[in-house]
Structure 1
């Protein structure tokens, strides 16, 4: 007895606290609260009072027998509180309403949802674990997280959520806390807990600080045994108890007492702290002054259940000072034992009244004085909202932590110099990671059964991204490397420039013996789809890293470590609302897609929508052809037709103009001396790019190479075999005489000019610009644009001559040509003139997927800057995105198409700004960018399948109708 008294005195001295100054259960209308509580309490029998002390388990995935059992416990034993476990939200809502109807006093519904309702319920939202959140420096995001979780609980009729975990995880081997903790730093843990509590309790849901007095430095799991903490009082005060003191002062409504053995607090080593009066009453309520609801940890857990019989444990918990018994066993026996204890005066009714009063006050605080049933309508939508997704993305983005960045490998720049491989370690999927990495450039997944084979395969690469992927199903899953993986990691790092991305607990890095040879390390914390996608975006600089390590990795990386990385202004991939677009309104594109496919306007197509540098829609519809065996994929490439003009020729013209190799005022006779005495000699570059040079629209060059009667290709011009003479590949097994290129330029030179001035769209000028550019730089157009733009842009799905780079099954066919090539055109340019040049034309010949087209358009929208590199000057983009002949009703800029001046012309939806620019293509392609709205729109199709006579896509204006949908989706 003297020893216990000494402990209490010492506790009083060491903590020397003023206690919680404000009762967290007291509402603003305290007088009304007291009246409601008193009116209920004074009419309760002793059995009804005892029933209020229980919070029993209820399941929404069990049968009618279980439902009847719970109803019986409520009606016969007056159980006043439930904690819902596994099941589904709709069934839980139905059962909650049923059980509330059975209760005389509204039930306080509890739930254990640390990272969201998903912790227990299917079809609900999952937010990140606390360890992930601990890496976030912006505590306002944690408040938002608490708010969202509170809204979810409130919507489902839950009044107390057993969160946050405020344990300081100082023991990396802790088997039960770990990822559930905000980290090892007491200040960070405290601030996160306060922020979370503020958010959740703002929604009228009680927060719960657990596991008092601190479960963070245990090596065993209290679910299975009684953990022992051999710390003195000074250590407990400075570490374990630190966050509790602070969260109590911040208004924490409830606390959970843990099943621990701590000799410095409770001399009886067998007695769990949850059942110790020294801990629950003397320390928690008297010395720390906690005035809120005191709830035990689950009394079915072995840490408590091994102490005595269930009824004895339940009684001991009340005698220790707990208010609410969580998951008590043997309810009838417990009721009898408590009543017997009152008779024997080892427990007083006043003591029971004290806890019941607090429970009733908590019920009033949670709004149960005005109880309303859970509304079933729109329940799923309310528990899985767009706002939840937006918050989740911000939480993950702000958590990603770069703890090593030698040579500034992160963010990755200079893609033209990189050859990148991805190697997967771990036993879980990395599919979303590699899929996202490949949106930024060529990243090859490299695999081998053995280490030697892998090292050999990695030889050609100068950057290797190693993803370590472990199960994300729950926080307790193993996060450790295998011995084999540790060896492989070291060997890969010894031979290569490596970025290691850890999609698991940061504690996994404790196994790594040396980080010397690893140039970059990212801790992504969890292997969720979203973490994989966002971490890949971080690597390529779509946004910068902000996270700080919440735990230490030996002396290599201390808690709080974390480098900021650069935002390189590359595309971020996200959801519409993140760019202030409505996902609901954008869904209309799906409806229009159905019409396009049903009416056979095109067999398939791709759509990309971006705003403010964020791709919010990237989707493929339909199939390659009317043979529905091959669906269109986002990575498939289309023949861009005339988009080639602004995506290949124009950037090179702008570059040449900047370098003063070409002048906009320069005449054709100066640009190409062979045109000196032609009728085009005085046509300027400005006029060509504006389609104001009086050039004919096009010339069907192929007709002159065919028999005029049979329309068959003449042997003088074509061969089915390649040779030095017949070297230019027109189509499959069809080669044209290389000398015919000269004839094409002669046809253009000799062609009549239009007699009247004015606007006339023409391909011919781009044949000439191609010749001029190739002459100036002494390189083929396709090589030049690839080297100067595509490689560094990461536009690795953009190319001329696609069969040299991609398998045929990744290239969308165009037309069933029965007039020239007499075959299905696939992998060869559809435009006849470009085909006769061997597939590389200034006006046509480029192939790409929609994602790559969007990159180039975004570079233009960002005034020549993308991915950390300036391609073109701002003034250059302004110069070319300008109408020079608008007084002559020419809507075009220099190369770029512009919105219509004549309302009858449907160049755009009529809904974009005058600053906007883009182009369309004959094969059914279209792209547009608007500096005013920040929108980039890409539509790629093969509407010329089966034949070019299929003009329904063009006649329906479907491409610009979709543009209107996008514009209408703008929220602000």
Structure 2
């Protein structure tokens, strides 16, 4: 008898037509155990309990207790089979779920509408891209990853079925309810994306649900408010609206939701909803398509259904039509009574009831409710907002961004040095993340205007304009259109200037632009999320490629699948550690070390940056400009780099001349500088002095020679205001005699060499190379570095003499000088020798923030290439990044510092021999490792208020941070 019943149950579930699925999507791996559990549960139920399984009621975890308690009555009295959670919060929902499950004799099947993640309904949870955004992605594997993450979140929240994906083909741009919820208007793209999403989500054990059958995409009405009509022929419906269902059924979709639509070609009864039609639910979905999974009605409290009949009658009609689960009934008690009455009268047979109830129980077993466990509350928030979520989101968004127009190859931005770029923000939502991201690449000025003509006037001096159109990213139904004023502004600017329009809303917004002829570039970014804005800025500047394709058509200008792929210029990208194989939790321990540095008064404030594989993955500012704690350090603030100037200013200029064949490492100083001919330095080679192996003294205190006998500054050398022959500004109200830089070179030329040839770090050669470079090139180091490097790199924060370029408040002070300049040194180089060279030294004088230092270091890692420009060859980089005298105990490369040879040195001892970098006296350090492709930048003003503070040095804090970075690499 038991064997016969088992066979009957299997036959009930596996009987299929020639067009149906090859495998029932509700069957678990252990069919025998599943069937036994289903039968045991079913046989133990009363009639009311069986009917109760058909109902899934809605719960809002944000509702007051009196309302959520009403659901407990439905569970205890009416034995409902499931819950669909809506608006609320994750902790509240988890607690309610556990309470509800504890009351239910049969575990409840919990559902949600979480099309783009739990954030569709819950606060404090992760929002993934909308379907329209995903529809722009060419690689369906990325959509599968999104589906997987949403599935993992659903599972963590005790949600067993997600009413997703929405497989509607949004043919009608005026569709008020689908729109961004659709993957697009192309049936094949929608189908492929739906299958991929489904594969990811069901692959982690969460049931999917294709909706809204037979297709809600081509209507301008909302079934929540009325009964929309789909007036097309059966042939059209088969080829468009219903096409995805055949594929998702074959792919194993666990459930399908039937919409409230009037489709005369499928059921010619006037105004009869498809959700109540046996011709649609049974005749087409079950019989013609052979679907065996769960069939849900759309919410029965929607006007598309509820307007048709009374509560209870609607539920009975929906069940008779062939639906298995009645979603969000308006009156559960009345509906159960109606179905029970029909059962008693024989209108509903036991076989019919068993078919649906057992399908529901099969689904419950499939999701593990046969071994139900309450939701674990610990780390719930963290599990729903993990770094992996952002990795998936960023990857999906980066692949969705679409260039729709690229006349004159305006994208990506090339030759930054020739561009004066303006940003115009339109729309009613913030574009701040976009503007901040743009400024990481170049100087970009935000322009605001009152009218179209006002904008054009203010943009007179600019030759590249980026317009960002920003509207709310809260949900897909938010307003997305341009106003008439905004259209006028865009057209006026585009007619006057080379213009790129970046649209952070759905593509249909472009219908409002009647004339796009003058727009050189159009970027579709789809959503106004912070990540979308950040990545779109990276695309504009060529850090990442444009890969997306337009998933819908927008008039005649922008056809479906429009796509202009743009290559990369290999500028720095920006992201999170896990994208590049690093552990953010481990990197976060940097903050503890920085807190130690601040608490122990090693420095008032600092910036720390970490990049890997060309992507900045950690960038934070700590502390304040000074110990008064009035001005917090910002990422755009600049620090005195001190000796990092050597490898960021002088060295790249020497490498350029080497690359051009104008300099060799064996050239002798006497050949390069006539002033050294006949001195003890004439035969020292470039390689020797840049390796700190040329017997030069480490330092000469040039400023001390300018004091008079009383210990005051000599009037022979200084003035308090600029005068003829005294206009080298050393500091505020302090001017040095113009010829003193030549005196410095003469002092160096006449200085003694060390008695023997040993490794000895020395600044002196960089005074000499400064003179060599400036004499050879006909400009000072300030002009040369800007001309050949910083402008084209987009390093607009980097350079000498920051007071000429930046506001004083954005420059971190380096010392309270009480021995020479007798003032707070801010905006003037800390190093005395460099200050006496008009603040433009070969060894010191450079100021920068961490981001621009990273650009230079990335250029080195890329062997002289950055931003689409070749600065020098790999061979040149190799020549300078070589330790020629390691066997003699000299760790240095040619200009670059290298890892220690013994136990003491500039690094943590955990970087490769091929790594390189430099530190600075003011408390700075930068390091790059070609092996791991990691860049590390540490900037501080440890010399404030006095250079006598050596706590940073003695603590080894900088190298301890470097060790944290190296240990954060995921094996």
In 1, the alpha carbon distance for the partners of 2:378 and 2:564 equals 46
Deviations 1:186-220 (A, max 9, x none): 00000111111111111221100000000000101
| CA displacement at 1:509 relative to structure 2 | 0.8
In 2, the alpha carbon distance for the partners of 1:420 and 1:967 equals 37
In 2, the alpha carbon distance for the partners of 1:963 and 1:643 equals 17
| CA displacement at 1:328 relative to structure 2 | 0.3
Residues 1:98 and 2:103 aligned together: no
Q: How does 1:757-772 map to 2 (within 5 A)?
A: 757-772=757-772
Q: How does 1:382-781 map to 2 (within 5 A)?
A: 382-709=383-710, 711-781=711-781
Contact 1:906 / 1:957 at 8 angstroms: preserved in 2?
no
Q: TM-score normalised to the size of structure 1?
A: 0.97
Partner of 1:5: none
| CA displacement at 1:642 relative to structure 2 | 0.5
Moved more, 350-359 or 825-834: 350-359
Q: How does 1:361-372 map to 2 (within 5 A)?
A: 361-372=362-373
| CA displacement at 1:234 relative to structure 2 | 1.1
Residues 1:817 and 2:817 aligned together: yes
Moved more, 687-696 or 58-67: 58-67
| CA displacement at 1:124 relative to structure 2 | 1.1
* Secondary structure, counterpart of 2:845 in structure 1: coil
Deviations 1:909-942 (A, max 9, x none): 1111111111111111111111111111111111
Partner of 1:852: 852
Moved more, 678-687 or 391-400: 678-687
Contact 1:17 / 1:287 at 8 angstroms: preserved in 2?
no
Partner of 1:944: 943
Q: How does 1:126-525 map to 2 (within 5 A)?
A: 126-525=127-526
| CA displacement at 1:31 relative to structure 2 | 2.5
In 2, the alpha carbon distance for the partners of 1:173 and 1:861 equals 50
Partner of 2:90: 89
Deviations 1:40-95 (A, max 9, x none): 22222211111111100122222322232111111111111111111111221111
| CA displacement at 1:400 relative to structure 2 | 0.6
In 1, the alpha carbon distance for the partners of 2:758 and 2:902 equals 14
In 2, the alpha carbon distance for the partners of 1:402 and 1:727 equals 52
| CA displacement at 1:258 relative to structure 2 | 0.4
| CA displacement at 1:17 relative to structure 2 | 7.8
Which runs of 5 or more residues in structure 1 are unaligned?
Answer: 1-15
Contact 1:262 / 1:269 at 8 angstroms: preserved in 2?
no
Partner of 1:908: 907
Moved more, 183-192 or 715-724: 715-724
* Secondary structure, counterpart of 2:876 in structure 1: helix
In 2, the alpha carbon distance for the partners of 1:378 and 1:931 equals 37
| CA displacement at 1:22 relative to structure 2 | 2.5
In 2, the alpha carbon distance for the partners of 1:611 and 1:344 equals 72
Q: TM-score normalised to the size of structure 2?
A: 0.97
In 2, the alpha carbon distance for the partners of 1:150 and 1:907 equals 47
Deviations 1:159-206 (A, max 9, x none): 111000000000000000000000000000001111111111112211
In 2, the alpha carbon distance for the partners of 1:326 and 1:17 equals 30
* Secondary structure, counterpart of 1:500 in structure 2: strand
| CA displacement at 1:595 relative to structure 2 | 0.8
CA RMSD of aligned residues (A): 1.2
In 2, the alpha carbon distance for the partners of 1:359 and 1:758 equals 83
In 1, the alpha carbon distance for the partners of 2:477 and 2:485 equals 22
| CA displacement at 1:261 relative to structure 2 | 0.9
In 2, the alpha carbon distance for the partners of 1:659 and 1:873 equals 10
* Secondary structure, counterpart of 2:609 in structure 1: strand
Contact 1:275 / 1:320 at 8 angstroms: preserved in 2?
yes
| CA displacement at 1:347 relative to structure 2 | 3.0
| CA displacement at 1:392 relative to structure 2 | 0.9
In 2, the alpha carbon distance for the partners of 1:292 and 1:700 equals 85
* Secondary structure, counterpart of 1:229 in structure 2: coil
Contact 1:161 / 1:206 at 8 angstroms: preserved in 2?
yes
Q: How does 1:811-890 map to 2 (within 5 A)?
A: 811-890=811-890
* Secondary structure, counterpart of 2:936 in structure 1: strand
Contact 1:722 / 1:735 at 8 angstroms: preserved in 2?
yes
Partner of 2:9: none
In 1, the alpha carbon distance for the partners of 2:669 and 2:560 equals 66
In 2, the alpha carbon distance for the partners of 1:32 and 1:686 equals 78
In 2, the alpha carbon distance for the partners of 1:659 and 1:137 equals 43
Partner of 2:892: 892
In 2, the alpha carbon distance for the partners of 1:27 and 1:968 equals 43
In 2, the alpha carbon distance for the partners of 1:708 and 1:577 equals 62
* Secondary structure, counterpart of 1:730 in structure 2: strand
Contact 1:17 / 1:288 at 8 angstroms: preserved in 2?
no
| CA displacement at 1:660 relative to structure 2 | 2.4
| CA displacement at 1:25 relative to structure 2 | 1.2
In 2, the alpha carbon distance for the partners of 1:257 and 1:706 equals 91
Contact 1:646 / 1:895 at 8 angstroms: preserved in 2?
yes
* Secondary structure, counterpart of 1:57 in structure 2: strand
* Secondary structure, counterpart of 2:312 in structure 1: helix
In 1, the alpha carbon distance for the partners of 2:43 and 2:700 equals 99
